[in-house]
């Protein structure tokens, strides 16, 4: 079986971001599950706020095309997101809005990519509301394959130890299972 390539990123670029910690741990688990992992930061792909007039005038920004091609070079994607105002953060939504414009021009086929999603929140429901919206964006908006099981890290400010490991055993086990599932499905696409 071919080793699948998995792209990992967080929907936040804030210093000390809890979703960045979840992305780092997912990258580690994916590597342990025999994937070739690429971890990026959306800070390396700055984009203007999506605006149809801007797109008509200047086209799709180069960073959106680079990000879309990076996704296309991987069979799987893991996105870790925080929850902002009961939804996904604007940084993540804007990045997806722009890369979806690359797809609309026939360059990228998201339907052949497997996505897994996770969220972090300092509240008690672990970013579940953000995942509802992210699920809809990934499945309906991009048309991608989405693993139904998701990771929700409640009270995330207390959920990681100093080495970056999850201290909540059921969530830690679930992350391992989701990562293994992502690798297995992505490997089928790689063959």
What are the extents of the domains in the chain? Answer: 5-190
Give the pLDDT confidence of 153-175 residue by residue, as tens digits. 999 999 999 999 999 999 999 99
pLDDT tens, residue by residue, 53-109: 999 999 999 999 999 999 989 999 999 999 999 999 999 999 999 998 885 555 567
In this structure, the strands spanning 151-153 and 145-146 are: unpaired
**Residue 2 in this model has a pLDDT that exceeds 70:** yes
pTM, two decimals, is 0.95
Q: What is the pLDDT of residue 110?
A: 76
What is the topology classification, in CATH, of domain 5-190?
Rossmann fold (3.40.50)
**How confident is the model at residue 106, as a pLDDT?**
54
Max CA-CA distance within the chain? 51
Mean pLDDT value across the chain: 94
Measuring CA to CA, which residue among 20, 62, 58 is closest to residue 42? 20
Q: Which two tokens stand for residue 114?
A: 């497997």
Q: Choose between 82 and 142: higher pLDDT.
A: 82
- For position 50, what pLDDT does the model report? 97
Q: Tell me, what DSSP letter sits at residue 164?
A: S
Q: Is the pLDDT of residue 33 over 70?
A: yes
Give, for 146, the enclosing helix (H) or strand (E): strand 145-146
């Amino acid at each position: 079986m071919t080793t699948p390539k998995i792209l990992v990123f967080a929907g936040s670029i804030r210093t000390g971001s809890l979703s960045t910690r979840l992305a780092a741990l997912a990258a580690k688990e994916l590597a342990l599950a025999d994937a070739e992992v690429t971890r990026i930061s959306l800070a390396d792909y700055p984009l203007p706020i999506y605006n149809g007039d801007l797109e008509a005038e200047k086209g799709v920004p180069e960073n959106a095309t680079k990000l879309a091609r990076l996704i296309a070079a991987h069979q799987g994607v893991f996105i870790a997101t925080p929850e902002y105002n009961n939804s996904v953060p604007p940084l993540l939504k804007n990045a997806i809005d722009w890369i979806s414009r690359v797809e609309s021009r026939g360059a990228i086929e998201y339907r052949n990519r497997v996505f897994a999603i996770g969220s972090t929140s300092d509240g008690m429901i672990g970013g579940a509301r953000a995942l509802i919206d992210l699920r809809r964006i990934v499945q309906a908006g991009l048309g991608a394959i989405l693993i139904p099981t998701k990771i929700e890290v409640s009270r995330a400010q207390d959920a990681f130890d100093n080495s970056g490991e999850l201290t909540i055993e059921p969530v830690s086990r679930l992350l391992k299972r989701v990562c293994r599932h992502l690798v297995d499905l992505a490997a089928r696409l790689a063959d």
